[in-house]
Amino acid sequence: MSDRTPLMAGNWKMNLNHLEAIAHVQKLAFALTGKDHEAVEVAVLPPFTDLRSVQTLVEGDKLKIKYGAQDLSAHDSGAYTGEVSGAMLAKLKCAYVTVGHSERRQYHAETDEVCNAKVKAAYRHGLTPILCVGEGLEVRKAGNQVAHTLAQVDGGLKDIPAEQAESVVIAYEPVWAIGTGEVATPEDAQEVCGAIRGRLAELYGQEVADKIRIQYGGSVKAGNVAAIMAQPDVDGALVGGAALDADEFVRIVRFRDQ
């Protein structure tokens, strides 16, 4: 059993307005106990428009729930219409920011180079990046999932020094498992997460690699999370749909009770 604290993060995607976000975080906060928070780090990743409201609630009620954003600009400020900078997210006391989610890679043509620039921007502003990697179905069918995912890790972490990388979170999210209900088997998850740990050791040495948390994401539910979390190189989950159901997300946080 590693001494890495599991991170269960809910990626709400484009769901819950700022009023719904307040109600949802209140429900989570009411359900989660001090014992839960000692065992697992819990984070929510709402849409940008919810962040100020979530910050106000978390700070006002001194909640242990962390929060962050689903994306950030590679730029710090300027003529980038519609973008949100890491500086602005830091001002809202965001802890995390996802980078390179497959839906952004797919719909916004985010390359490994763009993801690398965003990882650097996150660190410039004191945000912990959750770097999302993972293969599509064709790559999986061809048996190239490890090589594909490691190339994304290499690209996303290019020129990131060890003192920053040791805090990064890597989220392995096989695209064919996202939103499909077809969760990866624990063995599939461990195969790639273990390979990611090995690459991190090659890049930064084993001591740093052993500090880095690697999440699994893709149709995680309370019923399947425990077997995935039992894998030695899985340190949490990046949860989509199930995170929108407070009771289900709390059951995911309490995976050890299953």
Ligand X SMILES: O=C(CO)COP(=O)(O)O
Hey, what are 183's tokens? 């969760």
Q: Which residues of 78-87 are buried (b: 16+ CB within 10 A; e: fewer)?
A: eeeeeebbbb
Contact 16, 67 (CB under 8 A): no
Task: State the number of binding residues for ligand X (CB under 6 A).
Answer: 14
Q: 27: burial class by Cβ within 10 Å (0-12, 13-18, 19+)? A: middle
Q: Is 179 in the site for ligand X (CB under 6 A)?
A: yes
- Annotated binding residue 241: yes
User: Which position among 6, 7, 8, 11 is part of the footprint of ligand X (CB under 6 A)?
Assistant: 11
Residue window 190-219: x/- pattern of binding to ligand X, with contact defined by CB under 6 A: ---------------------------xxx
User: Which position among 173, 188, 191, 233 is part of the footprint of ligand X (CB under 6 A)?
Assistant: 173
Q: Is 220 in the site for ligand X (CB under 6 A)?
A: yes
Residue window 90-109: x/- pattern of binding to ligand X, with contact defined by CB under 6 A: -----------x--------
Which residue of the set 41, 103, 135, 173 is catalytic?
A: 173
CB of 169 to ligand X, least distance (A): 12
Which residue of the set 24, 41, 101, 135 is catalytic?
A: 101
State whether residue 212 is helix, strand or coil: coil
d(CA 43, CA 45): 7
Hey, what are 49's tokens? 């428009």
- Residue with nearest beta carbon to ligand X: 240
Angle at 243 between CA 240 and CA 249, to 5 degrees: 135
Q: Which residues pair with 236 in a beta bridge?
A: 7
Binding to ligand X (CB under 6 A) within 223-252 occurs at 238-242
- Annotated binding residue 68: no
Beta carbon nearer to ligand X, 70 or 231: 70
Hey, what are 72's tokens? 């950030």
Is residue 173 part of the annotated active site? The answer reads yes
Beta carbon nearer to ligand X, 105 or 204: 105
User: Which position among 178, 214, 234, 246 is part of the footprint of ligand X (CB under 6 A)?
Assistant: 178
Q: Which residues pair with 237 in a beta bridge?
A: 8, 216
Q: Is 46 in the site for ligand X (CB under 6 A)?
A: no
Q: Is 156 in the site for ligand X (CB under 6 A)?
A: no
- Show Cβ contacts of residue 73 under 8 Å, excluding neighbours closer than 6 positions: 80, 83, 84, 85, 86, 118, 121
Hey, what are 23's tokens? 């109600």
DSSP secondary-structure letter at 132?
E
d(CA 248, CA 224): 12
Binding site members: 11-13, 179, 219, 240-241
For the annotated catalytic residues, the residue numbers are: 101, 173
Q: Which residues contact ligand X by CB under 6 A?
A: 11, 101, 173, 178-179, 217-220, 238-242
Binding site members for substrate: 11-13, 179, 219, 240-241
